[in-house]
Amino acid sequence: MSDHTPLPAGWYPHPTMADTQQYWDGTNWTGHIAPRTPTAVSPAHTPTTEETKGGYTSLEKAGLVTGFLFPIIGFVCGVVVLTRGRVANGVGIMILSLVAGMFWYSYLADQATTDSHELYCQKVNYDTPAC
């Protein structure tokens, strides 16, 4: 009489190949191999108390501030917030960043044009009709 219970037929972790499983037919290992399925699904992000109450997280607050001052960084924060499942807040931060980026581009382009015009007028001593 045997002192151990035989394994029932089924899929078991492969002894030499990581993240794979092999089929045991109850008597022998078969040649059937498959990717190992996760036993428990872990969430990509666990909601914090702020998120469950509907408040802004620290990342969202940082995204709102940097979205206006440094639009590229704010846009990246918005993408991260979006990937964490806070779709409305992530999209809002991204839109704010895009609008702020257009504002800063327009402002800086206008400043550059004004400065170059003033330099031109100084060079020609304001004698031309364009000045």
pLDDT of residue 3 exceeding 70, the answer is no
Q: How many CA atoms lie within 13 A of 54 on its CB side?
A: 0
Question: Burial of 23 by CB count in 10 Å (0-12 exposed, 13-18 middle, 19+ buried)?
Answer: middle
**pLDDT > 90 fraction of the chain, expressed in percent and rounded:** 8
Task: Find the range with the poorest average confidence among 23-27, 35-39, 93-97, 98-102.
Answer: 35-39
- What pLDDT, on the 0 to 100 scale, is given for residue 125? 64
- What pLDDT, on the 0 to 100 scale, is given for residue 97? 92
CA distance 78 to 45: 16
CA distance 4 to 28: 16
Domain spans in the chain, listed from the N-terminal domain onward: 1-37, 49-123
Confidence of residue 52 (pLDDT cuts 50, 70, 90): low
Report pTM: 0.48
Render pLDDT for 78-131 as a digit per residue (tens, 0 to 9): 999 888 888 888 899 999 999 999 998 888 888 777 767 676 676 666 666 666
CA distance 84 to 46: 9
Q: How many CA atoms lie within 13 A of 120 on its CB side?
A: 10
Q: How many CA atoms lie within 13 A of 128 on its CB side?
A: 11
Q: How many CA atoms lie within 13 A of 69 on its CB side?
A: 6
Mean pLDDT, rounded, for 50-79 = 82
